A and B are shown apart, each in its own frame.
Chain A
């Protein structure tokens, strides 16, 4: 009895996701020009970092675990994974809360979080179509240094790691947005969070190249697990126990982020005054 209940719940959710995703895809098609420009930004920043690191590398064989080929893998990986695990709900949730847009979500028979998951997946599918060729062009520019660092085990674990990274990033991002229940200006908080993410996720600088005394905190903070870990899997610099530790930390942060989201949502919705009509 309980099993069939779970099944019908599942089927209902699949229907909601299918309808939501097709709506999201047609919505994103309307602003494909903007998507292309954003994706240009997603590719340019890692490309610039890569070029600068290659200049720093010069004639040396490697800096830490990174030779030419590894730097190329790393930053091509960043271009792809940063998009796949990106989240932007924190820009929209405060508006929903302050202007009462949340009301319509509260009336729907599925949770507010599903709305942002669907939006996240839908927009990423559209972005992938544009980003893929752009990454390919950059990759062609570095074709002499192009190697595949990914192991068989890595290839199997990579999708898992990206999926967990995307989920952690989205949940934390939603939590940052939900702070709007208690304040009327989240600009400062958002800026600080974006800064931590840009610095500690490996977006600009590979985390292994940070000074030794940063390594402990970097391994514990959630940011490594939203971007760097999948990219490290791509470069093949993670092995055995390190890889297991990383994936374990992703599970831990996923659970923590979900608990934090649930707690903030429950506390926040009690203070919510439903502005507007």
Chain B
């Protein structure tokens, strides 16, 4: 575990050095993040000019939910997106050869090699938004709430990492289609910025169990703002462990079908 942490830090450092050359992109990336955040906030403000609560969630709680959802998005992009987008080209061009030869887990080397450092300032902005949401609610989170959040949010991220890895793993067979499947996840993420109870049951089920976005957004937000049944953090842990294990098994299984690209 310690070795993998050291390797990951070396990966992160090389990304940082590489990106330091393109500082103008940082400004563009930040602008993009700020305008989309503004869009989300304007949307909430207009909705709340016609109501006091959406499915029992107050205006401050909706700000909190938006902040957590965006924090999740930027965390996922920070650590995973760049890697998942590259997997299809590793397989198409045969670069997977070098990944399989490395003396570390090939899943680790393929799915955690790159970080997107531009997401770091965005994560800070989203943390600021979360803080501001608590000011709107007029109270601070309880210690229990914070602790539950600290368990559930990373578990949610781990579940989505596992799902994303599993989808990207399909690239071993479906070279071209698999990267696009991920866009379904992006589309559904829009729904995960609202309390799940707003939606009909089939969609609640999809957002909770099939594509577990609720574990990154609505459920941690609920833990932080309203308190949540202790079964949820326990369930999150179990669900995260199981999905990580299964996605790893799937990856190992799939690499056996890899037939290199050249000669």
Contacts and interface: CB of A to CB of B under 8 A. Distances in A.
Given A37-B184, A41-B186, A185-B24, A52 B198 contact: yes
B51 A191 contact: no
B181 to A, nearest CB: 7
B46 A48 contact: no
A7 interface: no
Interface SS of B by simple majority: helix
B28 A185 contact: yes
A199 B42 contact: yes
Contact of B47 (A33, A41, A52, A195): A52
A44 B183 contact: no
A33 B184 CA distance: 12
B177 interface: yes
Contacts of B188: 44
B54 interface: yes
Contacts of A204: 39, 43
Contact of B54 (A38, A55, A195): A55
Interface residues of A, number: 30
B183 to A, nearest CB: 5
Interface string B148-186: 000000000000000000000000000011001101101
Interface string B33-61: 00110110011001101110011000000
A56 interface: yes
Nearest to A210: B46
A187 B51 contact: no
Contacts of A192: 31, 35
B138 to A, nearest CB: 23
Nearest to B55: A55
Interface string A204-216: 1100011100000
Nearest to B49: A211
A191 B35 contact: yes
A38 B183 contact: yes
A269 interface: no
B43 A187 contact: no
B54 A52 contact: yes
Contacts of A51: 194, 198-200
Given A56-B50, A204-B39, A187 B194 contact: no
B187 interface: yes
Of residues A33, A48, A192, which shows the largest number of chain B Cβ atoms within 10 Å of its Cβ? A48
Interface of B: 24-25, 27-29, 31-32, 35-36, 38-39, 42-43, 46-47, 49-51, 54-55, 176-177, 180-181, 183-184, 186-188, 190-191, 194, 198-200
11 contacts: A38-B183, A41-B187, A48-B191, A51-B198, A55-B198, A185-B25, A188-B31, A188-B32, A195-B36, A195-B39, A198-B39
Given A44-B188, A185-B25, 17 more contacts: A33-B177, A34-B180, A44-B187, A51-B198, A51-B200, A52-B47, A52-B194, A56-B51, A58-B51, A188-B28, A191-B36, A195-B35, A204-B39, A205-B42, A209-B46, A209-B50, A210-B46
Interface of A: 33-34, 37-38, 40-41, 44-45, 48, 51-53, 55-56, 58, 63, 141, 185, 187-188, 191-192, 195, 198-199, 204-205, 209-211
